[in-house]
Amino acid sequence: MKYLSTRDKTLRLSAAEAIKMGLSRDGGLFTPESFPTLTEGEVRDLCAKDYQARSAYIMGKYLDDFTAEELAAFAAFGYSAEKFDHPAVAPLRQVGGSTYCLELWHGPTSAFKDMALQMLPQLLSASLKKTGEEKTACILVATSGDTGKAAMEGFADVPQTKIMVFYPKDGVSEIQKLQMVTQEGENVGVCSVVGNFDDAQSGVKRIFSDEGIREELAGRGYFLSSANSINWGRILPQVVYYVSAYCDLMNAGAVSYGDEVNFCVPTGNFGNILACYYAKKMGIPVGKLICASNCNDVLTDFIRTGVYDRNRPFHTTMSPSMDILISSNLERMLFELSGGDDAMVRSYMEQLKAAGRYEITPAMKEQLQQLFYGGFCGEEDTKATIAALYADHYLIDTHTAVAAKVLEDYRRETGDERVAVFASTASPYKFCDSVLSAIGETPVADSVERIGQLQAVTGVAAPRRLAALKGKKPRFDAVTEKDKMEDVVLRFLK
Ligand SMILES: *Cc1c(COP(=O)(O)O)cnc(C)c1O
């Protein structure tokens, strides 16, 4: 199967090439030329398999340049019991009548990014071999917290790769910082940047587009690559858990094959919910795709009006991983809605760049609204939802609360009472501060102590690796000015 650029369909690459390159040279995102389907018989077979086997099978449908043995080995390693603290990997939990929660945070860094970042490094490393690449890939990441740690954890000691993470010095939580500076692995590097997330991100982009640095690094045997969610190798592993959730609902007797299930996803870059759409496209009976935002509600407006407009205030919220005004993966959805019209996608993206705004055609809007419902949840409602679910004996994080609330709004507004699943994207222990406040506790001063506090108050066990942060020695303490990030990279890749 070939992969096309959303901005130029004549570009056709193998899966290995698409994963190695990440982003197409024309700025477009790689998308499969066609979508494989899963028959009823295949879905029934998958019901009898464990998560690792489901993953290898579904990924195999898209990655025909990888062998079944390779994919099975990647899944066994990436989703092993050593890395995931739940045997189901992505367990489904019933939270009331026809409502379920898909827990995606049982991996090594307690955020859903692990689901993809335990797989991408292995896919990338194998892709280098398949394409005859002799250089080492150096992954550069600017992170506002979750991605950097999950990427390092995935890339640690993966052959023919190195990874360097930049985070804003005062822009991540104490826990997130500790998670990063204690990262193990011979091929990892971490450095804080004096500035905010945008400064770190701009620095990384500047390095990527610096021909001089690229040449210098090529001479030293390196090329730069990215691990962010535009890489196909990050989207594909996410399709798996939607198929898997449907199988688990069948196994639990909650649905019979063919019954449609609604999915509500807390959304930032549009990667997670796009994966759910792809599962629907493969034939999984998905009903409504419910797109949940926090008060950065650019996607809610887009789904309701057909106008995407990033010219609006940026809000810092208690669900920071969704504080985004440009959802990069939406480009793949535009490609779908336009029937694969690359010129149209190119034009929308040019308008977005130039004016921060574009409007899709009435036909595209109609299709969009048939597939999606958009809603948002403010800060007070986020807290109230955490409190309400906790009273019901379920402790969730701030991002998950946004999804739970928007699902509730959707049901009230539409009367659609079909079985519904909301995605849980982070452990509540990653956001102890907000979660403690939401359930009426005053967080103690020390952020690592808050893990113990939340555990003592709720009786819910903290993820083992977060609990183990207490007293762990930092390995990295480098700090750089934002205009000196180049030097850090050049020193790292000596
Ligand atoms: C990244 C992230 C999201 C947003 O996911 P997208 O794929 O970017 O839409 C939501 N919740 C958490 C906890 C995240 O880390």
In 178-323 the beta strands, taken as DSSP E runs, fall at: 188-194, 222-225, 261-266, 286-293, 307-309
Measured from the Cα of 113, ligand 1's closest atom is 15
Helix (H, G, I), strand (E, B) or coil at 247: helix
Measured from the Cα of 266, ligand 1's closest atom is 10
pLDDT value at position 172?
84
pLDDT value at position 48?
98
The answer to whether residue 473 is catalytic is: no
Taking the model in full, what pTM does it have?
0.95
Measuring CA to CA, which residue among 453, 451, 396, 458 is closest to residue 427? Answer: 396
pLDDT value at position 436?
98
Query: Sign (positive/negative) of CA torsion 94, 88, 107, 78?
Result: negative
C-beta of residue 265 within 8 angstroms of C-beta of residue 423:
yes
Burial class (CB in 10 A: 0-12, 13-18, 19+), 97: exposed
Which of 113, 144, 399, 402, when mutated, tests ligand 1's pocket best, judged by the most ligand atoms within 8 Å of its CB? 399
Helix, strand, coil percentages in the chain from 3-state DSSP, rounded to 5: 45, 15, 35
First to last CA, the chain: 38
- How far apart (Å, rounded) are the C-alpha atoms in residues 302 and 212? 40
Which of 172, 272, 303, when mutated, tests ligand 1's pocket best, judged by the most ligand atoms within 8 Å of its CB? 272
pLDDT value at position 23?
85
pLDDT value at position 483?
95
Low-confidence stretches of the chain (pLDDT beneath 50): none
pLDDT value at position 447?
87
Distance 320 CA to ligand 1 centre (A): 9
C-beta of residue 106 within 8 angstroms of C-beta of residue 82:
no
pLDDT value at position 94?
97
Closest Cα to atom 1, ligand 1: which residue? 321
Tokens of 338: 């336009």
Helix (H, G, I), strand (E, B) or coil at 233: helix
pLDDT value at position 186?
95
- How far apart (Å, rounded) are the C-alpha atoms in residues 221 and 235? 28
AA letter at 476: F
Radius of gyration of the chain (CA): 21
Q: What residues flank ligand 1, with Cβ below 6 Å?
A: 111-113, 146, 229, 266-272, 321-322, 399, 425-426
Beta carbons within 10 angstroms of residue 473's beta carbon: 6
Measured from the Cα of 270, ligand 1's closest atom is 9
- How far apart (Å, rounded) are the C-alpha atoms in residues 24 and 433? 40
pLDDT value at position 415?
98
Distance 185 CA to ligand 1 centre (A): 25
pLDDT value at position 171?
80
Distance 135 CA to ligand 1 centre (A): 31
Beta carbons within 10 angstroms of residue 467's beta carbon: 14
- How far apart (Å, rounded) are the C-alpha atoms in residues 231 and 215? 23
Tokens of 263: 């999915």
- How far apart (Å, rounded) are the C-alpha atoms in residues 149 and 107? 12
Measuring CA to CA, which residue among 19, 21, 20, 2 is closest to residue 11? Answer: 2
Distance 113 CA to ligand 1 centre (A): 7
C-beta of residue 376 within 8 angstroms of C-beta of residue 294:
yes
Which of 197, 303, 319, 425, when mutated, tests ligand 1's pocket best, judged by the most ligand atoms within 8 Å of its CB? 425
Helix (H, G, I), strand (E, B) or coil at 196: coil
- Contacting residues for 149 by C-beta, under 8 A, at least 6 apart: 109, 111, 143, 165, 176, 179, 180, 183
The angle formed by the CA atoms of residues 122, 335 and 345, to the nearest 5 degrees, is 115
Measured from the Cα of 275, ligand 1's closest atom is 7
- Name the pairing type of β-strands 30-32 and 3-5: antiparallel
Closest Cα to atom 15, ligand 1: which residue? 321
Measured from the Cα of 430, ligand 1's closest atom is 13
Distance 233 CA to ligand 1 centre (A): 16
Catalytic residue among 83, 113, 149, 482: 113
pLDDT value at position 219?
96
